[in-house]
Amino acid sequence: GAGVSQSPSNKVTEKGKDVELRCDPISGHTALYWYRQSLGQGLEFLIYFQGNSAPDKSGLPSDRFSAERTGGSVSTLTIQRTQQEDSAVYLCASSWGREYNEQFFGPGTRLTVL
């Protein structure tokens, strides 16, 4: 079946611009996660959704970062006024929910802020 998909696969933007990254989880997965991976920080958690609500936003690095999830499915991660330190690969994962903890990861979106 289809896995987690993310778009775009690559995004180059100028400092100060806003960007939106999209994640389509596996159908039926109620839990959705955003992570990012950068050279200096490794793989770090950003935000967790259960359905459309986000009980854990503790990993969002600043108020320039926000995310939403609609219909218990697609999620969008928005970064406002991008900075060069936002350059990273943004990874999305989904899982069945609390009882099933295998997380399925998408291929990621590589964001480059010039």
Report the interface residues with another protein, using CB under 8 A: 4, 31, 33, 35, 42-45, 48, 50, 55-56, 58-59, 91, 93, 95, 98-99, 101-108
CA–CA separation, 29 and 100 (whole Å): 10
Q: Minimum distance from CB of 56 to another protein (Å)? A: 4
Angle (CA) 96-101-104 rounded to 5° is 70
CA–CA separation, 26 and 105 (whole Å): 10
- Indicate the residue among 64 and 104 with the shorter CB distance to another protein: 104
- Indicate the residue among 18 and 56 with the shorter CB distance to another protein: 56
Q: Minimum distance from CB of 55 to another protein (Å)? A: 4
Q: CA 82: distance to chain centroid?
A: 15
Q: Minimum distance from CB of 74 to another protein (Å)? A: 17
Q: Is 12 helix (H, G, I), strand (E, B) or coil?
A: strand
